[in-house]
Structure 1
Amino acid sequence: MRVKPLPLGFVFRSRAKEEKAPAADKAPVNFSKQTRDPQAPKGRPTPKRSEAQSQRRSVANTPTSRKEAAKRQREERRTQMERQRQALASGDERYLPARDKGPVRRFARDFIDSRFNIAEFFLPMAVVILVLSMVRVGYLQNLALLLWLVVIVLIVLDSIVTGFRLKKRLAERFPAENKRGAVAYALMRSLQMRRLRLPKPQVKRGERP
């Protein structure tokens, strides 16, 4: 009996194709109705309009080069310095330098500005003493030296009394606040003439802070 030869394609046919075919038929088809923005990243849903606008705004505000970043930093620094200058003139606590912020420092400034301080007359007295000492007259030079000693002693005594009073008032007014450096801050302010003080005085002389 003669056997018919099998076709070679049947013998050497790839079994991988036969195994993949049923798996492809069984794979679920995703008929998602969610639309995707053509500009959205692949595989992600379309962002909301507000999110897209904020992203575009952040990208627009991001500096593209080192030169542009340096320019933006200079502009921000200039704006901050202008705000501080205005705050020093108006006493606005929001934009004052760190050394002038806080209720303790404000009270210390008001305490000094509300009274006469001998130390604030140091600069004009120093000019007078310097002029007298330059005159080639013996008794005037001696007078200049005497005035210099008197002014120094009065400033030291007045500063000691002012420091003790201020420290006592701060302890009464701000028992739980950090008062470190407040007295020294106030005494340094007392050495300046009233019209040259920064921040500008916010109380009148004789007004109780």
Structure 2
Amino acid sequence: MFSRNKPDATPSSPDSTDAPDPVDAAAEIEKAGAPSGKGRPTPKRSVAEAANKRPLVPNDRKAATKAAREKSREQRNLEYRAMQTGDERHLPPRDKGPLKRYARDYVDARWNLGEFFLPVAFLFIVLNFIFMQNVTMSALVLMLLYAVVLITIADAFLLWRGLKKRLLAKFGEVPRGTMMYAVMRAFQIRRSRLPKPSSKKHGVWPE
């Protein structure tokens, strides 16, 4: 009387609503395995991202190294021809620009003691071997060589002072490294200078 009627516990049957519908399960399996509109299953996101990635290093390292070497060789050939002909487009970066061209023309127009330094130094070395047994003459040759070195350095200083004034007047600046660029060119034999001098004679000053 005071108790509630408990529902009859009936065993679950295959027709219960909690069990998956065999038809729906078969449809899901068929949907998962069925090819997409492109004729293949839809790939997962991780698979698609991996397929879109490109390797930073080419697979054929030997071929890539050979191609890079050929490109570098071609660039060097272009730069060398430009230094022979004065083609501004293909000159190396350290030789490009109107300021560097002006510095080269100034050095080439001037008679520099530095361009005679190597032949003179070689001559003094030969003299030193000749008078090696004579202490007095050997010391004299060495002192003369030191004197030539000092005079050449002084001439290079005068070169830079005159060039610096001209660069400031014409360009308003003197980039770092220009002094070494000009002095090193002045110490080279004129015929061996690269880029080649624009004039074959001394005394042709840049405007």
TM norm structure 1: 0.65
Superposition deviation, residue 124 in structure 1: 0.4
Q: Structure 2: which amino acid aligns with 1:149?
A: Y
The corresponding residue for 2:165 is 168
* 2:103/2:182 contact within 8 Å kept: yes
In the alignment, the residues of structure 2 paired with residue 165 and residue 99 of structure 1 have an alpha-carbon distance, to the nearest angstrom, of 21
* 1:91/1:199 contact within 8 Å kept: yes
Give ranges in structure 1 of 5+ residues lacking alignment.
1-41, 44-62
* 1:84/1:95 contact within 8 Å kept: yes
The corresponding residue for 2:6 is none
Structure 1 residue 122 and structure 2 residue 117: aligned? yes
The corresponding residue for 2:192 is 196
The corresponding residue for 1:104 is 99
How many residue pairs end up in the alignment?
Answer: 148
> Which among 92, 108, 111 is matched to residue 113 of structure 1?
108
> Which among 185, 203, 207 is matched to residue 206 of structure 1?
203
Structure 1 residue 80 and structure 2 residue 75: aligned? yes
Superposition deviation, residue 178 in structure 1: 5.4
In the alignment, the residues of structure 2 paired with residue 115 and residue 178 of structure 1 have an alpha-carbon distance, to the nearest angstrom, of 20
In the alignment, the residues of structure 2 paired with residue 178 and residue 111 of structure 1 have an alpha-carbon distance, to the nearest angstrom, of 14
Q: What percent identity do the matched residue pairs reach?
A: 44
Which secondary structure state, in structure 2, belongs to the residue aligned with residue 116 of structure 1?
A: coil
The corresponding residue for 1:4 is none
The corresponding residue for 2:66 is 71
Superposition deviation, residue 149 in structure 1: 2.1
Which secondary structure state, in structure 2, belongs to the residue aligned with residue 132 of structure 1?
A: helix
Superposition deviation, residue 193 in structure 1: 0.6
Superposition deviation, residue 150 in structure 1: 1.9
Q: Where in structure 2 are the equivalents of 1:6-155 lying within 5 Å?
A: 65-135=60-130, 136-155=133-152
Structure 1 residue 182 and structure 2 residue 156: aligned? no
TM norm structure 2: 0.66
Q: Structure 1: which amino acid aligns with 2:155?
A: D
* 1:120/1:191 contact within 8 Å kept: yes
